[in-house]
Amino acid sequence: MRWYLNDASLQAQFAEPSDFVVALRRLLELRQRYDVLRSAFYVMRGFSDRNVRAGLSLVQLLRQPQHRETQALTLRWLDRAGPFVDDDRLLEADDYFEFDTQDVTDSGLGEATRRVKSRELATTFSFPGGERDFAQTPLAVDHGLPEDRLGQYEVPNLWSIEGLSEAVNDAAPPPSSWRELVEAARARFPRLWLPDEIYLNDSLAREAFDSVVSDRTLALLALLNEYMGARRPDGSEEPAAQKIISDHFTGDRAAFSGESATNRKKFKEQLSFPDPAVPDNRLFAHWHGKISHRFFRLHFEWPVPPGADRLKIVYLGPKITKG
C-alpha cells in the first residue's frame, strides 16, 4: 500500500492558519509513529509553496517564530526525507488526469490515479474544505483530455487523522522479502498458482529485495488474477478479460508479451520451469510481465489451458534473455 498527500487539496482554505498548523502537527506525529508512513507516504516536491490562506504559503507560515519547531520537522520531511512522487513516478503514455475539471496530472492525486490504473494499492490523504472539497471517497479522476476521455478511476481517499491512523493499522505490512511477496500475493490472488519455487529460485534468491519490484509484481499479478476471474470454465473470455488482453497484451508498450521466435529457440532450456502441478515436468513459459526497474521479468503459463481455474506463475527474477 502507498499513500499520497493530495497537494491539490491545500487551496488557501484556512482562514485561521493556526488551524492548519494543528492539522499538520497531528499528521507529523502520525508519520513519526508509523514506519510505513515514513517509507510509503509520498509527497510532491514544492508542496511547501502551496497556500494555506490567500497570500500565505506553507513555508511562509512556518517561518513565523512561534512555529519554529514545526518548521524544522516539516521541512525535514518535505525538503529532504520524502519519499517524493517525483522520484518514483509511473510512466503513462496518455499522461493527463483531471478531478472535477482541475488538472491533477502533476500532483499526488495524479500519481495515486496512475497507481490505481495499474492495479496497485494507493490511497490519498486530503485536507478538507476549500473551493473543491476533497472530503469524500472515492475521488473520481478522469483520464485523458476533456474531448477524448480514456477512462475514469476511483481513488480511495482519507481526510482525517483518525481515518489515516485506522487505515494504516488495518493495512497489511508491505512485503520485506521475496518470500513475503509470494505469500502476500497468494493471499490476494486466489486465481493464481504461486509455488515456493519462485522465491527459492537462485536467480531471485541472490537478488536484494526491492520494494519497487515488489509493487510492480503485485500490479502485474493483479491484472492476471482479474483476467482469470473473467474467463469462463471452457476457456472463453468475458468482455472484462478481452479488455485486459486488448489493453495489456497488445501494442509496443504492452505489460505482457511473449519472447521472439529467436529467443524462444535460443533460450528454450532457460525458459522452461518446473510445472507447479507436476514438478518433475518442465513447463515452457516464454510469456512474461515486464518490470523495467532492474530489468526483472515475471513468467507464466500462456495460453491458459481451457479447464484451468488458476494461472501458473513460474518465475520472478532478472531478465533471462539478456544479450
Alpha carbon dihedral 228, 3, 104, 17, in 10-degree steps, equals 160
pLDDT of residue 251: 85
| Strand positions, DSSP E, 122-248 | 122-125, 139-143, 151-155, 157-158, 192-193
- Angstrom distance (rounded) from CA 199 to CA 160: 39
Q: Are 88 and 42 in contact (CB under 8 A)?
A: yes
Position with higher pLDDT, 234 vs 164: 164
- pTM listed for this prediction: 0.74
Q: Are 229 and 304 in contact (CB under 8 A)?
A: no
Reported as type and span, the H/E element at residue 41 is: strand 41-42
* Burial (Cβ within 10 Å: 0-12, 13-18, ≥19) of residue 90: middle
Q: How many percent of the chain have pLDDT more than 90?
A: 77
- CA-wise closest residue to 158 among 128, 188, 183: 128
pLDDT of residue 323: 64
Span 171-197, pLDDT tens digits: 878 899 999 999 999 999 999 999 999
